[in-house]
């Protein structure tokens, strides 16, 4: 048998086995294809939600819709704080190109150095999110987006802007980069102003770029608008005059508070030093403080009319009472109390006019009851004003159980207690309103609040008349006169305390004024802190500020003149 014959027979013998293997493999392939087709049909027809869910997980997103922060306005609707649209650019560092030219173009468009940008990208290389630049104007942001650099995305936000700038900065406060209130009324009314962000479903590609808005899941709820009691016209004028006085007297700072005598509303509240809330580069944190509300100090002689009201109510001192203040000094408990000069005998009005510490002390020490500190407490000088402003000073009036005679006397002429400028102004609304003290308000009121009777009406009117005589030509308070208007006022000059007690030649200069006397409309407190240019008495430093501010304010408010005589 030949070799060829043997091979043919072998192939013929192997043929049935090969066919079996072929058929088995073909069957397995067909079964696999059938299973695959079945699964495709199942997913596409019967269980399509699975693929839809997987696709949505990679392309559908829920993005926040920023809420527009409420506006803060003055009492006439003039904006003091508004929110403007801005754009924040962010990136997925893993999608940013490594190309040096594109990185350079991106850095230039962002206004950043290429090295700084590259360093930040490297730092966030293992993350999927990093800010490129916050709160850009829409135009500037669009210039960056127009580069079409992969991995760069935008987010719409709002940025707070303060049209009045430093003029009302400490009262309004500021927000942070996320538009959350951090200081002042922005912080106090954060929940009211901020609103509620919304949500929307969007379609994005695998690089996170927006393809299409699909639906709004929840509309954004804008924040509420806040209307303040401040009159922006008076605020600008008060700030300008206070700043001028601080500069002219080389002072550390100062405050001015002006209240509506009929309602207790704060019409102006100025602080020095101040800051620009729109540009906080190099900001001194101390300038953020609203000194008019959060700082307490010894008031000195400006408190004497309030103490006098308590003394008069005892009935122990008839109108013709005379007090001998000679020789101009006295020693109590080892402490020497002095007047500027020896005024001799003074009437009750004369004690206020001359601001006699001796006269006030002698009147107070004739009594056994603590009527003076009780009056201070009734006027709210030991509790916060209740305006809702963060960090309101509560002031302090010492406990009567531990008083010595010298402390008792000191309270009557303004030492040994502490008050804020707003507390002081609020207390004097009782003198301006026939004995009824009005609560202070930083918000515009629709109607005047009900006052709380604190001083007997005839006594309050009598003290107002005494204060009227304090501000007359020839007196130490004459610089507080307002041409065309009658003015009631009181000066004060108080030594400041330091780490070792009262400091030499370091003073606060104060003036409290009510105008016009015939029908009080304004109650104003001025305090200038540590004037160093020479003059330091309240009548020389603070009274002129009151005169300029009150005169302009009365004209702005169209209050008719009530004193057309010669006030020179």
Which backbone phi and psi does 108 adopt, to 5 degrees?
Answer: -65, -40
Catalytic one of 194, 229, 274, 301: 301
Nearest residue to 381 (alpha-carbon basis) of 493, 312, 302:
302
Q: Classify the C-alpha dihedral 486-492-493-496 as positive or negative.
A: negative
Nearest residue to 310 (alpha-carbon basis) of 431, 421, 393, 469:
431
Pairing of strands 501-515, 488-498: antiparallel
d(CA 295, CA 97) in angstroms, rounded, equals 55
Annotated catalytic residue 418: no
CB 62 within 8 A of CB 199: yes
Q: Going by C-beta distance under 8 Å and a sequence separation of 6 or more, which residues neighbour residue 440?
A: 259, 264, 265, 266, 385, 386, 387, 422, 425, 426
CB 349 within 8 A of CB 495: no
Q: Classify the C-alpha dihedral 241-243-246-252 as positive or negative.
A: positive
d(CA 433, CA 455) in angstroms, rounded, equals 10
- Residues forming a β-bridge with 188: none
* CB-CB neighbours of 45 under 10 Å: 8
CB 214 within 8 A of CB 206: no
d(CA 417, CA 439) in angstroms, rounded, equals 21
Q: Residue 96, SS3?
A: coil
Query: Which one-letter DSSP state was computed for residue 175?
Result: B
Distance of CA 283 to the CA centre of its chain: 15
d(CA 322, CA 350) in angstroms, rounded, equals 9
List, in sequence order, every beta strand (DSSP E) within 516-561.
522-529
d(CA 316, CA 460) in angstroms, rounded, equals 16
Give the residue ranges of DSSP H helices in 379-473.
405-412, 421-432, 457-470
Print burial letters for 215-250: b (CB count within 10 Å at least 16), e (below 16). Answer: eeeeebebbeebbbbbbbbbbebbbebbbebbeebe
Nearest residue to 193 (alpha-carbon basis) of 330, 388, 3:
388
Q: Classify the C-alpha dihedral 553-559-562-563 as positive or negative.
A: positive
Q: Residue 491, SS3?
A: strand
d(CA 94, CA 151) in angstroms, rounded, equals 8
Query: Which one-letter DSSP state was computed for residue 479?
Result: G
Residue positions annotated with a catalytic role: 301
């Amino acid at each position: 048998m030949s070799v060829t014959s043997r091979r043919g027979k072998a192939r013929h013998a192997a043929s049935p086995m090969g066919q079996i293997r072929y058929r088995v493999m073909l069957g397995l392939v067909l079964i696999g294809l059938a299973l695959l087709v079945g699964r495709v049909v199942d997913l596409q027809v019967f269980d399509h939600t699975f693929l839809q869910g997987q696709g949505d997980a990679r392309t559908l997103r829920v993005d926040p819709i920023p809420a527009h922060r409420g506006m803060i306005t003055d009492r006439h609707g003039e904006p003091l704080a508004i929110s403007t649209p801005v754009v924040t650019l962010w990136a997925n560092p893993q999608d940013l190109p490594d190309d040096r030219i594109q990185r350079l173009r991106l850095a230039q468009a962002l206004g950043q150095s290429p090295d700084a940008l590259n360093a930040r990208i490297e730092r966030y290389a293992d993350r999927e999110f990093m800010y490129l630049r916050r709160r850009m104007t829409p135009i500037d942001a669009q210039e960056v987006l127009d580069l079409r650099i992969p991995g760069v995305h935008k987010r719409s936000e709002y940025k707070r802007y303060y049209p009045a700038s430093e003029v009302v900065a400490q009262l309004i406060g500021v927000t942070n980069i996320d538009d959350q209130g951090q200081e002042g009324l922005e912080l106090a009314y954060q929940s009211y102003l901020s609103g509620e962000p919304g949500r929307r479903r969007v379609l994005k590609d695998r690089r996170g770029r927006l393809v299409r808005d699909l639906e709004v899941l929840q509309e954004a709820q804008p924040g509420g608008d806040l209307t303040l009691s401040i009159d922006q016209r008076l605020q600008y004028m008060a700030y300008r005059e206070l700043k001028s006085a601080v500069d002219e007297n080389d002072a550390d700072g100062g405050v001015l508070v002006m209240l509506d005598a009929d309602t207790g509303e704060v019409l102006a509240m100025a602080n020095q030093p101040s800051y620009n809330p729109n540009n906080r580069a190099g900001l001194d944190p101390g300038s953020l403080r609203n000194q008019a509300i959060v700082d307490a100090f010894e008031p000195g002689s400006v408190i004497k009319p309030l103490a006098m009201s308590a003394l008069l109510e005892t009935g122990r001192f008839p109108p013709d009472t005379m007090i001998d203040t000679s020789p101009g000094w006295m020693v109590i408990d080892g402490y020497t109390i002095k007047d500027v000069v020896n005024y001799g005998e003074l009437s009750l009005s004369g004690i206020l006019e001359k601001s006699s510490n001796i006269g006030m002390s002698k009147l107070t020490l004739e009594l056994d009851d603590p009527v003076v500190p009780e009056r201070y407490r009734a006027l709210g000088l030991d509790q916060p004003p209740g305006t809702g402003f963060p960090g309101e000073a509560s002031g302090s009036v010492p406990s009567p159980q531990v008083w010595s005679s010298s402390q008792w006397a000191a309270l009557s002429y303004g030492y040994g207690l502490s008050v804020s400028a707003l507390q002081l102004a609020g207390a004097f609304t009782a003198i301006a309103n026939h004995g009824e003290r009005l609560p202070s308000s930083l918000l515009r009121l629709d109607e005047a609040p009900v006052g709380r009777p604190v001083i007997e009406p005839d006594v309050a009117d009598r003290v107002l008349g005494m204060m009227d005589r304090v501000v007359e030509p020839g007196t130490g308070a004459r610089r507080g006169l307002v041409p065309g208007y009658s003015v009631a006022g009181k000066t004060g000059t108080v030594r400041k305390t330091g780490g070792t007690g009262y400091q030499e030649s370091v003073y606060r200069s104060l003036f409290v004024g009510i105008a016009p006397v015939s029908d009080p409309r304004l109650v104003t407190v001025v305090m200038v802190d540590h004037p160093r240019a020479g003059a330091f008495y309240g009548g020389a430093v603070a009274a002129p500020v009151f005169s300029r501010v009150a005169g302009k304010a009365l004209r702005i408010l169209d209050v008719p003149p009530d004193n057309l005589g010669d006030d020179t």
